[in-house]
Amino acid sequence: MTLAGWCLMLSSVALVVGLNAYCFYRVFKAPAPAEHLHAPLDIETGEKMD
Amino acid sequence: MVERERETWSTRIGVILAVAGSAVGLGNFLRFPGRAAEYGGGAFMIPYFVSLLLLGIPVCWVEWTLGRHGGRNGFNSAPGLFAVVWRHGASQVFGALAVLIPVIIFAYYVFIESWCLGYAWFYLAGSIDPGSDAAQYPLYFAERFNRFIGAHQDGVLFTGTSPAPLFLAACFALNFSLIYLGISRGIERFCTWAMPALVLAAIAILIRVLTLGTPNPAHPDQNVLNGLGFMWNPKPLGGGSAFSALGDPQVWLEAAGQIFFSLSVGFGIILTYASYLKPDDDVVLSGLTASAANEFCEVCLGGLITIPAAFIFLGAAPLANVIGSSIGLGFHAVPVVFEYLPWGHLFGFLWFGLLFLAAVTSSLSMLQPAIAFFEEGFGMGRRSAITALGLVTGVGSLLVVYFSKDTVALDVMDFWIGSTMLIVLALFEVLLFGWVLGAERGIEEANRSSDIRIPGVFAPIIRYVCPAYLLAILGGFAWRNLPGQVRAIFERPAAVFTVTFTAIVFVFLFLLVRLAMRRWETQGRFANVAQRRFA
């Protein structure tokens, strides 16, 4: 294993691990999207208007 | 007609793992290490990462964005997703191609998947026994594999001499059962445990490989460090300095091709998966995360396991003969390694088990585009759509299994559909995004509700660099392979049958797309698209 080989291997692995760490950190840190809240008129009660 | 509630992903990590699972396949563990070691070693990683930045990630964002946009307009299948952006005949042609590609790839990929399942079972059952003469190991594994897949003679797999058809049937049953359960309960749930399991199995094997030291004192040069060096030391292709490979256009083409095939772009799969997102779900960070997860499996696991392990037990010269072939590396060379390892059968089971999981998460994703099309194009129920798809993929797989001699049918499908047409479809997608929609507007749509933003510099990259890159890959690929593949069509009946079958399926799908398009027009499904477009 040459010095250049070490440098390329470690920098490739570090780059990919770093990218994963950043991405997954942001994914898990992001707040969950708000659920759609049903307004009273959205709710199907089964009653008929007439 | 069956009206059903629109399916969506239930969690964000679920869709990321499903897309990553679609991308992570045998190529990460077999094709990438072979290509890197063959085309410049560590120097290969420079054009590799440049291609990731300028081609892989932008095309992923294109597919995620087109998918979510189409989904917001009520479509989940590629013909509809394309037509939302461009109501033109080309959208019908490429829409049909986007349905055809995963169907045909599934037909042969599931056969390869069954090899992995078969080998995992053989190791678990302890039925692999090459004897005590180590010199015969390579020959034993090559011959055993050829007999298993019927590589000596067409039709031999129907005579009951190999258990391969049983494993194929099991793979079909697994894939179709999971897809029957749907997006959230089937694909998402399976990938949510399969992807972590795959990574854990790969890490266990990685630790074993990196702690091998110098297992054979008779060959002190065959050790872990030299194995890593065989993979990662920069080396010239012919002569010259260590980094002279960077001056060779072939190395750049191979690196770009590897990124392209590895990320599963151009399959129509990411497009379909993204259409099941909710209208305000993020696509930029999710797309980047799925790509990053694929890179982790490829560079950090595949890049550190396969070649070093094979080098330690085979040595440089025999390894150099098989690194150009993923199948040779995976099924001829690597099994030799397990014969030397303590607990070799356990590691053999883990290795082929992880390849099997990687294959299932990929093959599963190949079924969804056609199912989405049958469901929304003709109002089919899931069961009917699965039956229709099972019929088409079943006939395709039977063709591959029957014409097993030298894997001709498999190779023909892989060349024309699994390689060439993938690039053509990706080219259409980037042109659609960059020129029809407009790269700036497209990026604006991608950035809407996203947790990170695509920098503006990617507009010219998507508009100019990606198409140029894809044309270069297509040109280089055709220049090297086209003459041989065209000759094969005239010389091998198996190739003629395969091409004819593929062409018939394409024409049939194209006609179905035209019918579906008329149906959508009649239903007025495009009426609100213009108003909603990038509102």
Percent over 90 (pLDDT), chain B: 80
> What does the pLDDT look like over B200-239, one tens digit per residue?
999 999 999 999 999 888 899 999 999 999 999 999 987 7
Nearest to B195 by CA among B293, B113, B303: B293
Å from B291 to nearest chain A CA?
9
pLDDT band at B1 (very low <50, low <70, confident <90, very high): very low
Render pLDDT for B326-350 as a digit per residue (tens, 0 to 9).
888 999 999 999 998 889 999 999 9
pLDDT digits (tens, 9 = 90+) for B120-153: 999 999 999 998 888 899 899 999 999 999 999 9
Name the pLDDT band for B535 (thresholds 50, 70, 90).
very low
Q: What is the ipTM score, two decimals? A: 0.91
Whether residue A8 lies within 8 A of chain B, CB to CB, comes out as yes
Hey, are the CB atoms on A33 and B16 less than 8 Å from each other? Answer: no
Residues in B touching A13 (Cβ below 8 Å): 299-300, 303-304
With an 8 Å Cβ cutoff, are B292 and A19 in contact? Answer: yes
Q: In the A/B pair of chains, how many CB contacts fall below 8 A?
A: 89
| Better-predicted residue by pLDDT, B534 or B165 | B165
Among chain A residues, CA nearest to B298: A16
Distance of alpha carbon A22 from the chain centroid: 11
Contacts 24+ apart (CB under 8 A), B222-228: B222/B311, B222/B312, B222/B313, B222/B315, B223/B312, B224/B308, B224/B312, B225/A1, B226/A1, B226/B311, B227/B307, B227/B308, B227/B309, B227/B310, B227/B311, B227/B312, B228/A1, B228/A5, B228/A9, B228/B304, B228/B308
Query: What pLDDT is recorded for position B342?
Result: 87
Q: Which residues of A touch B16 (CB under 8 A)?
A: 27
Residue B62 has pLDDT above 90, yes or no: yes
Average of pLDDT values for B432-454? 95
Among chain A residues, the shortest Cα distance to B295 is held by A16
Question: How large is the angle between the packed helices A3-29 and B303-314, nearest 10 degrees?
Answer: 150
Cα distance from B464 to chain A (closest Cα, Å)? Answer: 26
Query: Measured between beta carbons, which residues in chain B are less than 8 angstroms from residue A7?
Result: 42
CB of A2 within 8 Å of a chain B CB? The answer is: yes
Q: What is the pLDDT of residues B390-430, one digit of tens each?
A: 999 999 999 999 999 989 999 999 999 998 999 999 999 99
Residue-averaged pLDDT of chain B: 93
A25 touches chain B (CB under 8 A): no
Question: CB B451 to CB A30 under 8 A?
Answer: yes
**Residues 6 or more apart from B83 whose CB is under 8 A from it?**
B75, B91, B92, B95, B517, B520, B526
pLDDT (0 to 100) of residue B480? 86
- For the segment B84-106, the average pLDDT, to the nearest whole number, is 96
